[in-house]
Amino acid sequence: MNAKPDKAPSGESGYGSAEYAWSLAHLGDPIWLPNAEGWLLRRRIPGTELWDAIGCYPLFTCRDWEFLQFDLSQLTDLVSVTAVVDPLSAERAGTALASAFPDLATPYKQHFLVDLQSDWTSRAPRNHQRNAKKALSQVGVQRCSDPGAELGIWCDLYAALKRRHAISALADFPRHSFAQQLDAPGLVMLKATDGTQTVAMQLWFMQGETAYFHLGASSDDGYRLSAAFALMWSALHELQRAGARWATLGGAPGARASGDADGLARFKQGWATRVHPAYLCGFISDRPAYDDLIRGIGSSSFFPAYRSAPATQGQ
């Protein structure tokens, strides 16, 4: 396949934007894929002088999937590439997804999708509708016209979420990362208030006709008031008015392809009109280096295997 003419990234929003990729520079060096028009993050492999790459957290997207295989083949300085691709993107990619990731393209976590052109409000379980109605009678919900001005409040709510759920690793965003995310194109922020106090917030990214639920966090009062129900109800209506065709709510811990579910998964599933798995994808670009790195590790379903827990102990 011939490459398209190289050009600087422009005009993308949400997870496909340069601004979002650079907000994750604490995880790795952003790499622009000029033909597929997407972003990766280049990382040092612990204990070595070698590098690999991951898609931007939580989802990898690109504009032209047919060129992704070519772009990945040009990354000769990497050992491997790993990415999570959401169901809608996987549908658009078609056979190009497996071509770009010949070493791994397997169903991962279940993701919950809302068809905003359907009668999603009446399809929501009665319990969800009742909780949303009650919450809306107790809190006010509004879209934030200047998300950056809400940075301090958002960081405080997210810090409480991290403590509650012991969030770490890729989802442990530093303050400067959030500052960049709140200024990224396509960012939509909603907040729920009890009087003058903000008790919960949600962050979404609009990308074309798809709205991606990014993050949500509540204070103790927000949990007591079930503010997440008020926010989700309001957000889906707001995004529908903004022209979104789909709202993808992402997955949840415990909501893997097996169908297991926890509280967050049940909350998301209640709004969903479709449930499909995202895909965990992998490409080994330097097979000799990869095989050398996994020598002695033993069998592992983790990809890349050299980053599995047994492989990184003591590093």
**Which candidate, 106, 73, 108, 112, places its Cα nearest to that of 257?**
108
Q: What is the rounded average pLDDT of the residues 157-161?
A: 97
- State the pTM of this model: 0.92
- 3-state DSSP assignment of residue 53: strand
Q: Which CATH superfamily is domain 118-244 in?
A: Gcn5-related N-acetyltransferase (GNAT) (3.40.630.30)
What distance in Å separates the CA atoms of residue 58 and residue 83, rounded to the nearest whole number?
9
- 3-state DSSP assignment of residue 176: helix
Percent of the chain topping pLDDT 70: 92
Q: Is the pLDDT of residue 93 over 90?
A: yes
Tell the residue number behind the tokens 């599933």, with chain if given: 269
CA terminus-to-terminus distance, the chain: 40
Q: What is the rounded average pLDDT of the residues 96-124?
A: 96
| Radius of gyration, alpha carbons of the chain | 20
Q: What is the rounded average pLDDT of the residues 186-191?
A: 98
* pLDDT tens per residue across span 192-238: 999 999 999 999 999 999 999 999 999 999 999 999 999 999 999 99
The alpha helices in 74-211, defined as continuous H runs, are: 87-93, 95-100, 120-123, 126-136, 151-165, 175-181
Q: What is the rounded average pLDDT of the residues 107-131?
A: 95
- The 10 Å Cβ neighbour count of residue 182 is 20
Mean pLDDT for all residues in the chain: 92
| pLDDT reported for residue 10 | 59
Domain ranges of the chain: 14-108+278-312, 118-244
| pLDDT reported for residue 312 | 47
